Amino acid sequence: MDKGEKPFRYEAMWKSHPNFDEFVLKNWSPSNSFSASLNSLAVNLKKWNNDVFGNVFKRKRKVLNRINGIQKASTYGRNPFLKDLEQQLVTELEEILNQEETLCLQKSRQNWIVDRDRNTRYYHTKTAIRRKKNRILKLRKSDGQWCDQQERVMEMVMNFFKALYQEENGNCTFLNTIFTFPELRKDLKDVLSIPPSYTQIQKALFDIRSLKVLREDGFPALFYKENWNVIKGSFIPFILQLWHNPRIIESINQTLVTLIPKVPNPEFVSQFRPIALVMLLIRPSLKL
């Protein structure tokens, strides 16, 4: 189905840019709330990507064309200037190819590299397969007829799950239990109420897989790990704030609901199950 406007996504290849660390440091706002700082940084990163970093594929084509032009010109005689320029462009191309490899690896969501070489065709293929598999182009209606109109397909999905999860009217029978649970001793209660330490919070974050799944805000765990020295001064107090007042989660959480097939080739809405992707921001607090 159509996902609407393309959301922000942090690109791992940005880290290779020589000015990236300085840009993050300059555009991070520790005086704001942590979620507000992330949102502001996301806006600035999108602009920086367009204005400074640029499209990696266009940059590669441009450098390759310049190298080809120099190599053609070298047939007319040796030129020290062109030779030095070619070497500079080859170095730049190597950097661009590394960035392209990182981008393709991230898009394919693979966590290993084939034969440790630059097999970008493999990653492009994996990405194309994943995108095709993840899209719902058509569904069968209750009468068995196919529906391929996107608005109608979305309506079918919404109506099905609304009906499935709506509150049922009727009397519910509750079991009367006589079980009682022993009360915790005061010393154990005190231990459980101790706020997490700096080390515990950092470990909970760093235990999250770097690029496995992106959350609603577009920042994977990799961003937090690579920029820990910049964001830790805001992140640690934020997690402690959630610890002392869990109700804050309700005001900041943006859960992304996606559909997962129950069978290899689903045709009906009932053959999908919804899962909720929780914001990475609150995952460390859930692990503590």
Within 10 angstroms of residue 63's Cβ, the number of other Cβ atoms is 20
The encoded tokens of residue 25 equal 């440091």
Backbone angles phi, psi at 147, to 5 degrees: -125, 120
Q: Does residue 109 lie in a domain region?
A: yes
Residues 144 and 253 both lie in one domain: yes
Same domain, 149 and 204: yes
Tokens of 237: 């107090």
pLDDT for res 57: 93
Q: How far apart are the first and last CA of the chain?
A: 36
* 113 lies in the same domain as 84: yes
Is residue 166 in a domain? yes
Q: Flag whether pLDDT at 61 surpasses 90.
A: yes
**Residue 95 — very low, low, confident or very high, per pLDDT cuts 50/70/90?**
very high
Q: What is the pLDDT of residues 21-58, one digit of tens each?
A: 999 999 999 888 888 899 999 999 999 999 999 999 99
Quick one: 188 and 231 in the same domain? Answer: yes
Tell me which amino acid residue 55 is: N
Query: Which pair of structure tokens corresponds to residue 256?
Result: 């992304």
Q: Whole-model pTM? A: 0.69
* In a shared domain, residues 85 and 201: no
**Domain residue limits at 43:** 12-134
**In the chain, what percentage of residues exceed pLDDT 70?**
76
**What's the CA gap between 30 and 40, in Å, rounded?**
11
Output the pLDDT for position 71: 86
25-33 contacts at long range (C-beta below 8 A, 24 or more positions apart): 25/230, 28/230, 28/231, 28/234, 30/233, 30/234, 33/238
Residue-wise pLDDT for 74-84, tens only, equals 776 778 888 89
196 and 211, same domain (yes or no): yes
CB 281 within 8 A of CB 34: yes
- How many domains would you assign to the chain? 2
- Cβ neighbours of 79 (radius 10 Å): 13
One domain, residues 130 and 151:
no
Residue 141's SS3 state is coil
Half-sphere exposure of 49 (CA within 13 A, CB side): 16
Q: Give the best-scoring range by mean pLDDT among 109-123, 150-164, 249-263.
A: 150-164
> Could you tell me the pLDDT band of residue 114, with boundaries at 50, 70 and 90?
very low
Task: Report, as an integer, the average pLDDT of 89-104.
Answer: 91
Q: Are residues 109 and 163 in the same domain?
A: no
Instruction: Say yes or no: 161 and 247 in one domain.
Output: yes
Pairing relation of β-strands 272-277 and 256-261?
antiparallel
Q: What is d(CA 273, CA 140) in angstroms, rounded to the nearest whole number?
A: 16
> Are the beta carbons of 153 and 139 closer than 8 angstroms?
yes
Is 3 a member of any domain? Answer: no
Domain's final residue, options 103, 134, 165: 134
Q: Is 7 part of any domain?
A: no
Highest mean pLDDT: which of 136-140, 174-178, 199-203? 199-203
Per-residue pLDDT, 116: 42
Mean of the per-residue pLDDT values of the chain: 82
pLDDT at 199 over 90: yes
